[in-house]
């Protein structure tokens, strides 16, 4: 069966990574979480004095770019890839609130995007890859054989996040989460470099009213259509 590139883009909190990871595992492809790479650069900034008064020192970061090496290694316990920064497993560290709150400005820097896109394209050379993010179908792999653009209503995404945080025992306010979801959508769609946009040839998946099983089934069908030819 021929190997292809699968690009999954979409809004935050719409389950992109879960579906991308599950699909990759099922079809034996490599899964790359491109957001994790921007998070790893952000962690590097925090650990190397490149953040001052909550601002990224962009000029200094530019000088450090060639010292930042990001890779992924399969975790045999979870069956999923962990993110490594200069040879160190940072999978947990990149998911903290501190990193989350600084990653947007880092991901908006043109020289950071250029470096990450070059690394992402190298990872896709041999095909057989599922990559998720915001600009995969438009900028990283404009020729990807299968492109999916995932969305769900802001209310549904906020409700899912609310349930997740509640289950972790956190005190949460639905209205606050909804505002945050809408604000992130706006930033993602309006930033200057590589804004979030549906590629003309991407299939639209609105999963507002789909179960995980229904979504999996749909995705598998799209994959089979592209590879059986
Ligand atoms: O998907 P995520 O929340 O882990 O992404 C982290 C940040 O990186 C978020 O601000 C969006 C940004 N991002 C991006 O600009 N381009 C990508 N291909 C992936 C993520």
Mean pLDDT score, 214-221: 94
- pLDDT at res. 137: 97
Choose which residue among 21, 34, 120 to substitute to test ligand 1 binding: the one with the highest number of ligand atoms within 8 A of its C-beta: 34
Cα separation, 55 vs 68, whole angstroms:
19
Work out how many domains the chain is built from and give that number: 1
- Does the residue 86 lie in any domain? yes
- Does the residue 70 lie in any domain? yes
Mean pLDDT score, 137-161: 96
- Does the residue 219 lie in any domain? yes
Q: Is the beta carbon of 8 within 6 A of some atom in ligand 1?
A: no
Select from 148, 133, 152, 149 the least CA-distant residue to 223.
148
CB neighbourhood size of 130 (10 A)? 29
3-state SS, residue 82: strand
CATH number of 64's domain: 3.40.50.300
Tell me the CA–centroid distance for residue 156 and ligand 1, in Å: 20
How does strand 203-206 pair with strand 51-52? unpaired
- pLDDT at res. 33: 96
Q: Is the beta carbon of 32 within 6 A of some atom in ligand 1?
A: no
Q: Which domain holds residue 55?
A: 5-224
* The pLDDT of residue 185 is above 80: yes
φ, ψ at 96 (rounded to 5°): -75, 160
Q: Per residue in 5-40, pLDDT tens?
A: 999 999 988 989 989 999 999 999 999 999 999 999
- pLDDT at res. 78: 85
Ligand 1 atom at minimum distance from 188 CA: 11
Q: Is the beta carbon of 44 within 6 A of some atom in ligand 1?
A: no
- Does the residue 39 lie in any domain? yes
- Does the residue 61 lie in any domain? yes
Please state at what angle helix 110-123 crosses helix 34-47, rounded to 10 degrees: 130
- Does the residue 229 lie in any domain? no
Taking CA atoms only, the protein residue closest to ligand 1 atom 7 is 35
- Confidence tier at 180 by pLDDT (50, 70, 90): confident
* The pLDDT of residue 229 is above 80: no
Report the predicted TM-score, pTM, of the whole model to 2 decimal places: 0.92
Query: Among residues of the chain, what percentage have pLDDT more than 70?
Result: 100
Q: Per residue in 55-104, pLDDT tens?
A: 999 999 999 999 999 999 999 998 889 999 999 999 999 988 789 889 98
Tell me the CA–centroid distance for residue 125 and ligand 1, in Å: 22
- pLDDT at res. 161: 87
């Amino acid at each position: 069966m021929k190997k292809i590139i699968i690009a999954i883009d979409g809004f935050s909190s719409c389950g992109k990574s879960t579906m991308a990871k599950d699909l990759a595992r099922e079809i034996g492809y490599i899964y790359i979480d491109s957001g994790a790479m921007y998070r790893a650069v952000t962690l590097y900034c925090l650990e190397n004095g490149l953040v001052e008064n909550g601002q990224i020192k962009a000029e200094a970061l530019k000088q450090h770019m060639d010292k930042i090496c990001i890779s992924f290694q399969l975790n045999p316990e979870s069956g999923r890839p962990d993110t490594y920064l200069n040879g160190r497993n940072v999978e947990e560290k990149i998911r903290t609130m501190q990193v989350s709150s600084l990653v947007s400005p880092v991901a908006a820097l043109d020289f950071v995007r250029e470096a990450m896109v070059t690394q992402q394209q190298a990872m896709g050379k041999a095909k057989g890859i599922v990559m998720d993010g915001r600009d995969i179908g438009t900028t990283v792999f404009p020729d990807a054989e299968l492109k999916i653009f995932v969305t769900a209503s802001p209310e549904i995404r906020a409700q899912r996040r609310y349930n997740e945080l509640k289950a972790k025992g956190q005190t949460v306010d639905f209205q606050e989460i909804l505002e945050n979801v809408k604000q992130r959508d706006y930033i993602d769609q309006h930033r200057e470099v590589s804004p979030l946009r549906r590629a003309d040839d991407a299939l639209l998946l609105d999963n507002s009213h789909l179960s995980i099983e229904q979504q999996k089934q749909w995705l598998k069908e799209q994959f089979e259509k592209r590879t059986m030819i």
